[in-house]
Amino acid sequence: MSDLQKSFDTIAQQFSGQFSLYAEHMATGEVIQYGPTHPMETASVIKLPIMITVMHLVEEGRLRLDQPVLLEPSDMVSGSGVVQNLTPGLSLTLADAVMLMMTISDNVATNMVIRLLGLEPINALMASLGARDTVIKKPIDFTLPPPIGLSTPKDLVTLLFGIYRRTTVSAKASDWMWDVLTRQQYDIVLSRDLPYSLLEEGENEPATVVIGSKSGSVEGVRNDAGIFTTPWGDYALAIMSEGCRDVRFHVDNEAQRVLPALSRAILGHFAPEALTHGD
């Protein structure tokens, strides 16, 4: 049994639910996989496939990032975001709605985008991209039974690779999505246990390790999926979980305390030099 496997087993023993992870190094192709492989509730990580679908339709000329999207009463929902506090009739550009959806996980902005796209085009595109276990089941509506969507860590890494390698849409559109991912304000798992010195931006200098990601949470679920760019090589990592007995939406939720050790272990494996930066 490898040291990495032992680390994952130890973390699993500390967690009341179960987790699954998939990581792949961009240059070497090395894959690290742990946990069950069945599709799990995505929570807001489903917003990554939604963004990809938007950019695919923009590339086809069927949508424009500068086109207006009106806020309708039917879009309103509780949870994360700020648009729920604004007045129906508000007009956002599609680009701004996607930015809100991704960076602060705005649920109302997400529903505005879903209404524009429809559910089936998202699912059809995911299947065509090789993410066959990734499906969106409904708009964000907590009065309907879960799940919001389903996916696997492997599927999420497949989608992230398409952005990183600029194979899903054009280089320009891929760069736009990467910029959006790096503006994420709810990185709840991937960075919490990494040395701060790696993530700290200097004056006019990027951080040593830059993470572009999308997280998601509902009761019992904490997920995070992202691309890591580092001086020691780039990689993608997706972590999904379910069944956690701590259902609080709190910074010290059990999953948010335990699962970040997985990300640190992956970084230590792919780039052991990185952890010498200190905490």
Model pLDDT for residues 202-251, shown as the tens digit of each residue: 877 889 999 999 999 999 999 999 999 999 999 999 999 999 999 999 99
Residue 277, pLDDT > 80, answer no
Domain total of the chain: 1
In this structure, what CATH number is given to the domain that contains residue 85? Answer: 3.40.710.10
| Domain that includes residue 232, residue range | 3-277
Residue 278, pLDDT > 60, answer no
pLDDT of residue 1: 55
Question: What is the β-pairing status of strands 149-151 and 221-229?
Answer: unpaired
Residue 2, pLDDT > 90, answer no
Model pLDDT for residues 10-66, shown as the tens digit of each residue: 999 999 999 999 999 999 999 999 999 999 999 999 999 999 999 999 999 999 999
Q: Are 156 and 22 in contact (CB under 8 A)?
A: yes
Phi, psi of 106 (to 5 degrees): -65, 115
Please list, in sequence order, all residues whose beta carbon lies within 8 angstroms of the beta carbon of residue 37, skipping any fewer than 6 positions away. 20, 152, 154
Model pLDDT for residues 123-171, shown as the tens digit of each residue: 999 999 999 999 999 999 999 999 999 999 999 999 999 999 999 999 9
pLDDT of residue 258: 97
Phi, psi of 207 (to 5 degrees): -65, 155
Segment holding 119, helix H or strand E: helix 119-128
What secondary structure letter does DSSP report for 202?
A: B
Model pLDDT for residues 73-93, shown as the tens digit of each residue: 999 999 999 999 999 999 999
pLDDT of residue 203: 78
